[in-house]
Amino acid sequence: MERSRRGRVNDLEIQRAYTPISPANAKGYFDVLIKCYQTGLMSQYVESWRPGDTAFWRGPFGGFFYKPNQHGELLMLAAGTGLAPMVPILQSITDNAEDETFVTLVCCFKTFEGVYLKTFLQEKARFWNVRTFFVLSQENSAEQLPWSYQEKTRFGRLGQELVEELLSHCRRKPFALVCGSAEFTKDMARCLLGAGLAQDSYFLF
């Protein structure tokens, strides 16, 4: 699900879509994960906000609706803020004691420092049915990482070989969710198909 944020910068009306990371059953509020860029128009507008300001939103929109136990295992492939749509799904699974879906969450970032929501991800990785992995494209040494991340971090980019390895280690028949840049999403669709996953066995946000 996405919500669309609208604002004005330098007399230009701008609009961007953001994915809520709050629980799907949240009442009266929603949280979003926003990465601000130094030259981004919406980023400039967001950074100008102060407590008490009014923001205009519309939505939600979206095409993937999660149902408990609908899939044996979810393989979540997320790059950067593509982590956002995975968060409420993961939260709903761990909040529901009757949902026995396995989750393998793969988070792709440039550096360890840049990983979003570390505390949330650590908490979720303690659940019996959740595994988290990290792929860092601009680092190459596990020695610089906290010990709890060293065994579950790979370096470089997420590609065909690693996707095939991840699929082979799924504990049940997987359904893949993919979110990231347009290039990442296209690459992951190609990798999943190359690994033998059918087109109706993955969803691209």
pTM above 0.85, yes or no: no
Higher pLDDT, 11 or 81: 81
Same domain, residue pair 144 and 113: yes
Same domain, residue pair 44 and 125: no
Q: pLDDT of 109-147, one tens digit each? A: 999 999 999 999 999 999 999 999 999 999 999 998 999
With bands split at pLDDT 50, 70 and 90, how would you rate the model's confidence at 94?
A: very high
Q: Kindly state whether residue 66 falls inside one of the protein's structural domains.
A: no
Give the pair of three-digit tokens for residue 140: 């190459």
Note down the domain range covering 162.
Answer: 73-204
Q: Residue 37: is its pLDDT beyond 70? A: no
Neighbouring residues of 126: CB distance < 8 A, sequence distance ≥ 6: none
Query: Going by DSSP bridges, is the β-strand pair 12-18/2-9 parallel, antiparallel, or unpaired?
Result: antiparallel
Give the pair of three-digit tokens for residue 108: 């792709």
Return the CATH number at 97: 3.40.50.80
At position 134, the amino acid (one-letter code) is F
Q: pLDDT of 95-112, one tens digit each? A: 999 999 999 999 999 999
Same domain, residue pair 189 and 122: yes
- The CA-to-CA distance between both ends of the chain, in Å, stands at 9
Q: What percent of the chain has pLDDT over 90?
A: 68
Q: Residue 19: is its pLDDT beyond 70? A: no
pLDDT at 2: 56
Same domain, residue pair 103 and 46: no
